[in-house]
Amino acid sequence: MTDNPYAPPKVDVDTGISASVDPADSRMPPPVLATVVIFAVIILLELIFTLATSGRGIFQIGVSALILLGLIRGHALAWQWGRVIPVFIAVVVTAGLVVEEGGRSPFLLGVAAIPIALFLSLPILLSYRSSRVWFGLKCPQCSEVRARGASFLFNKRRCRACDHIWSHQPKR
């Protein structure tokens, strides 16, 4: 009798986690979880603002949603954007408030300080070592957590210590 070419492989895939996967690395660290929650709150505020201004800001919500999805999946490009874009937005919003200071009430300045504080907390949370490890920035060769992007979309990383290049798959 010949073997069935459509039969599943003879390997038992449900035997457990392989030795190469560390179960501790599969849980989202607290700084990344806080970043995801804060980013979700920022998206909610953007959605409220978009609905209040009759549809302006749809592109902004789309970009923010993509970054949030990347943060949840552990993609290093979202880590990079989550560090750079909030600082840029906080600087622009603060500059806008400083330029138009005369026509603003203290209440509106206080309300505007909340999103600025939320934006500035994101790069701080993403700078923790556990956050960098979650996003795959730990070199598999020398274990240093000093990687930079070796490809345009950050799919490959290059270690700054040993110059090793590797790729890392996002979670789920």
pLDDT in tens, 154-170: 888 899 889 899 887 76
Predicted confidence band of residue 61 (pLDDT cuts 50, 70, 90): confident
In one letter, which amino acid is 168? H
Cα 167 to Cα 150: distance, rounded to the nearest angstrom? 9
pLDDT tens for 141-154 read 888 988 888 888 88
Predicted confidence band of residue 29 (pLDDT cuts 50, 70, 90): very high
Residues 6+ apart with CB under 8 A from 35: 71, 82, 122, 125, 126, 131
Cα 48 to Cα 24: distance, rounded to the nearest angstrom? 37
Q: Which of 23-27, 92-96, 101-105 has the lowest mean pLDDT?
A: 23-27
- Pick the more confident residue, 133 or 96: 133
Predicted confidence band of residue 68 (pLDDT cuts 50, 70, 90): very high
Query: Residues 74-95: what's their mean pLDDT?
Result: 87
What 3-state class would DSSP assign to 159? strand
Res. 103: pLDDT tops 70: no
Domain range summary for the chain, segments of one domain joined by +: 28-137
Residue among 33, 46, 53 nearest 86 (CA): 46
Structure tokens at 110: 């206080």
Structure tokens at 94: 């603060």
Q: Which of 43-52, 63-72, 127-136 has the lowest mean pLDDT?
A: 43-52
Average pLDDT, the chain: 80
| pLDDT of amino acid 19 | 37
